[in-house]
Amino acid sequence: EGDGVVGEFPVLRPGEKFSYNSRHILDTHRAIAEGSYLGVDEQGVRVVVRIPAFEMIVPEERGPKEMWA
């Protein structure tokens, strides 16, 4: 949560993309993440963009201190 996306405030035109990397600290080898982005369109109307659930899998060969996806 918070303002911006990793400290940035992207303005996307139709067809444009924005990507970033983040990581999640996990206490298991598998987890499900989902969420949403809140934004404002050009007319000032709030929009919600859903991020569908996706699975994160940590390779088995990593030790407990290396469990991040």
The pLDDT tens digits for 36-48 are 989 898 899 999 9
| pLDDT beyond 90 at 34 | yes
DSSP 36-68: EEEEE-TTS-EEEEEEEEEEEE--TTS-GGG-B
- Residue 39 identity (one-letter amino acid): G
- Residue 55 identity (one-letter amino acid): E
64: containing domain = 1-69
* Average of per-residue pLDDT across 12-19: 90
Gap between the Cα atoms of 9 and 20, Å rounded: 12
Q: Which neighbouring-strand residues pair with 39?
A: 47
Count structural domains, the chain: 1
